[in-house]
Every structure is written in structure tokens, then in C-alpha cells.
Chain A
């Protein structure tokens, strides 16, 4: 699997990415955590040239995108290569600058 995890609500079927103990839609207290397929579509993308610190200055410039997962939630991730808005991408959790981060590549 991709290593990317999402949450979903067994009561109202809402899905989301940022972890919570309650469904932000209906308030159900038992959201389920499940793996995402890693398939997605680029919603927006930027090439960061001014990095915030030494860690990221070492790999700048780098691409950051908002990717709409096939399961629904929107995820912020790195891109390995330029991909325009609307492009199909495939991703997984990978090591970037010593951190486990979601990383997508054009399909």
C-alpha cells in the first residue's frame, strides 16, 4: 500500500485526511483509519524556491502540491516531477529530507 492513511466515518461515510478522534461532519466518535490507494489528481502545485530552514534549503527548489486522493480527501504532498493542475499522480510515504512524507509522481 501507499502508506498514506485517511479516516472515514462509519456513520455518515465522510472521509478526511487530518487525523481526528471525531467525525468533523456528524460527530460520530468512532472514525476508522484506513490506507489510501495512493492514486490522486493535482488540485494545485507550487515550486518552493525560498525554503524555511537549512533542511529544506539543501533540497530547494522542490514541488509541493495539494492532491485530491481517489478516496476523496485532499493531501499536501511533495511531487517528484512537475505535473500540472488536473494531472493524475501516484504517491506513497517516502523519506524526504529525513522525514516520512507523502510523495507523488506523475503517472
Chain B
């Protein structure tokens, strides 16, 4: 059944699923991974025995040396290939890039990529903030009382200084994500907000307000990649690229989002496409400034214009270039690894006509998925193509 590796040019998405995000009492890392994996199998019309490869991420609520085999045993898989990877917020995109590479190399035929974590109910808010702050340097950054929002606030202050954009411009991105989440089943934050609500929310680390920051969530997401296409409208990965410019913001390049430029250039080159060809965007949005910096580094927006483009309706569901139509990390929610996978699940639904009443108007042939981990440290870009 397995085609010769040399004939496999791209991996196909056979199914994908994202659970509701939010406060899911009684959930656990493994239960959320299970719910997501079963949902993806059901969407693909596959059985457990069809899966011969498993890639998972990490869970801050369940740190484990061997999360992939913990899950494999629990879920009833006997994969030929299985392990976890860790790239912070870039993990979801990194897992999918690895799955694609393994399939193209012929190491596995059908791979389950899964993440899940009860980050909200599984640990205290202080514990979550402190765990995530480990992204900072253990001697030169974290001991200063710096947090993830503080690291991103430093990028935000610099972004506003360099581009002349305003806090209201950043707020537009939060407003957009909330509007999109408001009719997405399973979204964590759905009450409509306006720019003034964002600007009036409490300061976390200036210039970032509470509503510039994603929430902490429980949730899970899973994707099944295969060497062969499924029935009906499908999607495949035709380009991928990574770039890792630094770990700590203290050693970030002056062009702080350089990694997104490098990673996407590699992905576009392999795909033989450019950003102008993209009809759907799935872009990591842990903070409003993350989304602004990435959209501009990816070449989607001119410097300083991301918020203004959002305000003008460019990224609306029925706009020219739909973006994170589930509501992104900022409003669908962020449970770690699965948080960024939700963007990919939504891209698959939209690009293959599976989004129901939330379906975008156009039928984009190509889409861009971009994840970043750390403080704009680790970048992964994937180019997605609709297949009929």
C-alpha cells in the first residue's frame, strides 16, 4: 500500500479536529488528546489501526519524558514511529512539518499529530505564568521578574516606536479575533469587544493590556497526515520552512521577527509560491503584537499597517484574505501545543469547504500557516494547497 518514497511529494490532511477551549473541569492532558485524536479519526473515517506514526507535543500540566508513548498506550496505538517534540508555541507547526517530512521520506504512511493540555484547570495561574516564563534566561531574564507578557511587551514597545503604529492599531487585532470567535462553536471568549474595551482593560505589561493577551485554556487538537489523499475536497502541505534566530529576547536580532522572514522564504521556495498567492492565513497570535509582527514579517502587511488592515476589513471572514477565522489564540483560546494547532484545523475546514455556516466566501487554492515559539525565537511556516 505504501507508495515508493520518491513518489510522495506532499502529505495530505485526511482529518482534523479541535475540542472546545476554555475551562473544562475534569479534563486532563491525556483526556484532551484522546478527544482530539478520536475526533480527527472520525473526520478522516479511519481506525486506530490505520495509524502507523504518532507525533505529539509537550504538556506543562503533565511534564513527561515520553508523552508520545504514554498517549499511544492509553489510546490503543501500536505505532512504528512515535515521539514528542518541544518548540514552545511553534510546536504545532513543527509537528506538522515533521509529519510531512516523515511521510515524504517513507518512514510512515499515516501519522497522527496530536496535542492537548488542561493548562487552565490543571495548574494555578501563577504556576502557569512561572512555567511559561522559563522561556526567558534562567539567570539573566527570569530572575528580574520578567514574564512572557513582559518579553512580548518589550517587542511591542519597540514595534510601536519603529513603525509609528498605535496601541489602538494593535487593539484592532484583538477586536477582529473576538468578532471571529463570537460565532465559532467551542471558542473560549465570545463577548464582542471594541477598541476602547481593549485600551481600557488593565495593563499587564505596558503597552500590552489584558485584551492584547490570549487567555489560558484547556483544550486539544489533532490532525491526521497521510501519504495518500482521502475522498472529496482535501488539503496537502506543499511547502515548509523553519528558522531559529535566538532563544532569549536579549539576543534577538534588531530585526526582531527575522525568523518569520527566513522560515516563510524557505516554505515559499519549496512550494513555488509567494505571499501574494495566499488566499487564507493561519498565523500565531499569542499577543496582538505577535500577530502584527508576524503579518508584517511574512509580507502580508506593510510595516506598522497590520492593525489598520484589520480595521479596514481585509482579514474579515468575507474579506480579501481571511485570517484565523476561528478566533485565534486571542479568543478561541490558548492551551499550549493544541492552541496553535487550532489554526491549522480551521485552515483545513475553511480550505476544504467544511466550515458550515462560518464558511469563507472564496475557495482559496493556497494558504499560509505560521507558528512561532519563545519570544519570536523559533519559526515554522507551512504552505497549504487545496486539492479537489
Interface residues of chain A, those whose CB is within 8 Å of chain B, are 16-19, 43-53, 55-56, 59-60, 62, 64-66, 74-78, 85, 96-97, 99, 101
Output the least CB separation between A44 and chain B (Å): 4
Contact A76 B204 (CB under 8 A): no
Contacts of A60 in B (CB 8 A): 145
Contacts of B133 in A (CB 8 A): 52
Contact A45 B145 (CB under 8 A): no
CA separation between A59 and B145, bound complex, in Å?
10
Q: Is B286 an interface residue (CB 8 A)?
A: no
Decide: A18 near B143, CB < 8 A? Known: A44-B154, A46-B150, A48-B205: no
Interface members, chain B 127-169 (any A CB < 8 Å) = 129-130, 133, 137, 139-141, 143-147, 149-150, 153-158, 161
Contacts of A53 in B (CB 8 A): 126, 130, 145
**Residue among A45, A50, A96 with most chain B CB within 10 A:** A50
We find that the number of chain B residues with CB closer than 8 angstroms to chain A is 33
Contact B146 A76 (CB under 8 A): yes
Contact A62 B157 (CB under 8 A): no
Interface members, chain B 236-282 (any A CB < 8 Å) = 248-251
Q: Chain B at the A interface: mostly helix, strand, loop or mixed? A: helix
Contact A48 B250 (CB under 8 A): no
Output the least CB separation between A29 and chain B (Å): 20
CA separation between A99 and B147, bound complex, in Å?
17
Contacts of B208 in A (CB 8 A): 46
User: Which of B130, B137, B139, B161 meets A52, CB within 8 Å?
Assistant: B130
Contact A18 B137 (CB under 8 A): yes
Q: Is B203 an interface residue (CB 8 A)?
A: yes
Contact A85 B161 (CB under 8 A): yes
Contacts of A48 in B (CB 8 A): 145-147, 150, 153, 205
Q: Is B64 an interface residue (CB 8 A)?
A: no
CA separation between A56 and B205, bound complex, in Å?
13
Q: Is B202 an interface residue (CB 8 A)?
A: yes
Kindly report which residue of chain A lies nearest to residue B160, judged by CB atoms. Answer: A85
Contact B250 A46 (CB under 8 A): no
A48-B150, A51-B147, A52-B145 given. 15 additional CB < 8 A pairs?
Answer: A16-B251, A19-B139, A43-B158, A45-B157, A46-B150, A46-B156, A48-B147, A49-B202, A52-B147, A53-B130, A64-B154, A64-B205, A76-B141, A85-B157, A99-B143
CA separation between A66 and B205, bound complex, in Å?
14
